[in-house]
Structure 1
Amino acid sequence: MSLETARTESLNVGDVRFAFRRLGPTAGTPLILLQHFTGTMDAWDPAVVNSLAETRPVIAFNNLGIGTSTGRTPDTVEQMASDAETFIRGLDLPKVDLLGFSLGGMLTQVLAVQHPGLIRKLIIAGAAPRGGEEHLLAVVDEAFAQSGTDVRLPLFFTPSEESQRAGRAFVARATMRKEDRDPDSGEDVSNAQAKAIIGWCARKHEGEATLRAIAQPTLIVHGSDDTMFPSINAYNMFKAMKNAQLVLYPDSGHGAMFQYPARFVAHCRTFLDE
């Protein structure tokens, strides 16, 4: 079973249906994947997800209003985190690890503080703390203005030839699944999520308090030249948290873990297995 072929399952909680896919063994602490701005399950890199699933259960899902999940996408990080907790509890999972990318990394911070008994370890990639620095809308607008190229290339990778080559390889991997793909997100998702991210980063006096309250071991991974959420965010999280370690990848942007999938998976395995 792979991300490209895994069956899409559904979980009904109240009047909401969550779409999700499970990979890997059944034994072990599940790793829950929390996705980036407008991203669906099909936006994950199979090279990352499949490799992680070789040694542990991995669960990708669409939060409310995303892809084939029902409901309305909320416009606050806190409500998105609450919805993610509803999904995790709905699967009757007693303890999980989290991998949050970008917006998903913001959700992991809330979940870690609010549900310490549920969350064992955190991996935060390409994210910002409350009150962090963000250039989301400017960078996204600039990327969409570049016609004739996949928008992920300027958003997730640096302009260097090496980084762009890695980006093209990532795009090829991420489009391998042909059957049962999630629909792309529309403005109902992007507008709500943009408001949530901007609101999160506008809270300049709350970030360190949240970070200091996170007791779980945390791996922070960031690109050296992330234009959406500059790397100072990663350093500030690392300095404020009690039990965090920081990895910066060279010549890399927002999608650093997609540029260096084997290296990223190796770092994750070492961290999660400790």
Structure 2
Amino acid sequence: MSDSGTVELAYERRGPAGATPIVFLGSLGSDRAMWLPQVSGLSADHDTVAVDLRGHGESPVPTGPYTVSQLAGDVAALLGRLGIESAHVVGLSLGGAVAQQLAIDHPGPVRSLTLLCTSARFGEPAGWTDRAAAVRADGTGSIAAAVVGRWFTAALAHRDPPLVERMREMVTGTPDEGYAACCEALAVFDSRADLGRITVPTLVIGAIEDPATPPEHQRLLADGIVGARLRVLDHAAHLASYEQAGAVTAAIREHVDGAEQRSVAYATGMRNRRSVLGDTHVDRAVAKTTPLTAIFQDFITRTAWGDVWERPGLDHETRRLLTIAILTAVGNEHELDMHIRAALRAGMDADRIAEVLLHTAVYAGVPNSNRGFAMTAAAVADLAAQAALDAQTAAAQATG
């Protein structure tokens, strides 16, 4: 255990460095080998990090009970230890709960989420506490067959007995205390009230034959997370990452690559937005973002500022003047005042703005342009007053 209460998780990292890593978090009773289909399919061109959660695989097994928040804290500590500032996080079942909690408690490094066969609440607590007691009494081997029976459809179990046996051995190999303590974590886990705080691009994947977390669990997640997309797979049960390995791997790739493109557009848009409107205004707008407005903030930053304002056909000064003209024409006084002041702060001469307003008066109407002139005069006066105050403050400091 570290001073912060976290444990140093075991992991395996494959793939080229440089790209945003994809971090895989597994189900209850699994180790990082459960992600072999996805790691094999993605590591040729993506940086993959498959993790053993606390109490699983080669990770430490402190005495329980655990909480999902503790498990998420372990993952956050691992990202910090590896120097990963941004990651796409993929979680299945228990791992999906940990991924949700990571995005809620430690959102900074989470660039996107893929949540597979998981839930915001895993049923009544008694079932989990009873299972924890059974494992502590009789070991994980006593429940392995029943667990793996929920992982795969009957058709796959009939078709591939060696795979089923490997998975039983995986469950049996999970430390008794680690498994039981994670059962206790799931008993009290409930993210439903916090789903609105998750604002990163999220893909939710369910399986039509999953008896542990049926598709209605994934629909609840997709409805609660801003902008989340839902996909439900046929011919798969709880461990869809194996039974529909190709489809799951392709879906993760598409989602991650799309999130990367969105991230680049967002970063470009934020740079342009700050350049045009100033840090103070943008910081104030970002600080006021709520789960309700987050999707619009993302949209406007990527599309208006990251796409249109980035196009090479017009320079930013021309775009500033066009924006002032259009806002004057449509009478949008709030946005007009903001853009006039931003242009003046950036060093644009008030006479150029006056020419735009005069031209707009001819083609869009005198009253709106008259209001634009009044706003410009007020903005010039305010900036002059602020400059005089700054000069007085500097002089007082120099003589004091």
User: For this structure pair, what is the TM-score category when the shorter chain's length is used for normalisation?
Assistant: 0.7 to 0.9
Q: Which amino acid aligns with 1:230?
A: P
Structure 1 position 38, deviation (Å): 2.2
- 2:90 corresponds to which residue? 99
Give the drift of 1:113.
1.7
* Larger Rg computed on CA atoms: 2
Letter in 1 for 2:14: L
When the two structures are superposed, what TM-score results if normalisation uses the length of structure 1? 0.78
Name 2:180's counterpart in structure 1: 191
**TM-score normalized with structure 2 length:** 0.55
Q: Does 1:52 align with 2:63?
A: no
The corresponding residue for 2:243 is 259
Q: Residues 139 and 155 of structure 1 are in contact (CA less than 8 Å); yes or no, is this contact kept in structure 2?
A: no
- Structure 2 residue aligned with 1:66: 56
Q: Deviations 1:136-180 (Å, cap 9, x if unpaired)?
A: 659999xx9xx9x95564121122x2x3356547447879xxxxx
- Please name the residue that 1:3 is paired with: none
Relative contact order (C-alpha < 8 Å, sep 6+): which is higher?
Answer: 1
2:272 paired residue number: none
Match of 1:250 in 2: 234
Match of 2:77 in 1: 86
Q: How does 1:1-274 map to 2 (within 5 A)?
A: 16-42=7-33, 44-72=34-62, 74-129=65-120, 131-133=121-123, 153-159=148-154, 161=155, 163-165=156-158, 168=161, 170-171=163-164, 184-200=173-189, 203=190, 207=192, 209-274=193-258
Distance 1:110 1:69, change over 3 A: same
- Structure 2 residue matching 1:32: 3-state secondary structure: strand
Larger helix share, 1 or 2: 2
Q: What do residues 198-239 of structure 1 show as CA deviations (whole Å, max 9, x unaligned)?
A: 111xx4xx51x3111100001111111211122211011111
Q: Which amino acid aligns with 2:157?
A: Q
Is contact 2:65-2:182 (8 Å) kept?
yes
C-alpha RMSD of matched pairs (Å): 3.3
Letter of the 1:190 counterpart = Y
SS at match of 2:91: strand
Partner of 2:334: none
- Which residue identity does 1:55 align to in structure 2? D
SS of residue matched to 1:56: coil
- Structure 1 residue 87: deviation in Å? 1.0
The gaps in structure 1 that reach 5 residues or longer are 1-11, 176-180
Change (3 A) 1:93 1:183: farther
List gaps (5 residues or longer) in structure 2: 259-400
Deviation string for 1:114-147 (max 9, x for gaps)?
A: 2222100001011111x45479659999xx9xx9
Q: Whose strand fraction is larger, Structure 1's or Structure 2's?
A: 1
Which amino acid counterpart does residue 22 of structure 1 have in structure 2? R
Q: 1:261 to 1:255 in 2, by over 3 A?
A: same
State the identity as a percent.
23
